[in-house]
Amino acid sequence: QTPAVHSVSTGQQVVLNCNVQIDHSNYVSWYKQVPGGTPQYILRLHPSDSSPDNFGAGFSSDRFNSKATSRIDFQFIIKQAETGDSAVYYCSTWDDSASEAVPQ
């Protein structure tokens, strides 16, 4: 993820980048974690979609967005940054090749 640290003024737009390294066509989710807290789910985006299809509690498309700039590169966008947005942000996805069939 880049940038590692991003400093902006209140009201500015924030863009964070995530490269998932492999084109596996799975959702990419974004999470917010404040010091001492657990990660909060923000949103998810499918690589083939133009906008997120699901948001976590307290997060909406009014201020939060995501888009794919390629099959492996994703952006997370915060519109009009607020003090409460200060946190560590994570992108997350999974690789189907790691899954296994469960014997029945």
Q: Give every CB contact of residue 84 below 8 A, 6+ residues apart in sequence.
A: none
In the predicted structure, residue 14 carries a pLDDT above the cut 70: yes
- Judge whether 80 lies within some domain: yes
- Average pLDDT across the chain, whole number: 91
Check residues 4 and 19 and name the one with the higher pLDDT.
19
| pTM, full prediction | 0.88
- Domain containing 63 — which CATH number? 2.60.40.10
Q: What pLDDT score was predicted for residue 4?
A: 80
Residue 82's domain comprises: 22-93
Contact (Cβ atoms closer than 8 angstroms) between residue 32 and residue 40: yes
The number of domains in the chain is 1
For the chain, give the number of residues: 104
Asked if residue 9 is part of any domain, the answer here is no
Q: Is 67 within the bounds of a domain?
A: yes
Would 101 be classed as within a structural domain?
A: no
DSSP, residue by residue, 3-42: -SS----TT--EEEEEE-SS-----EEEEEE-TTS--EEE
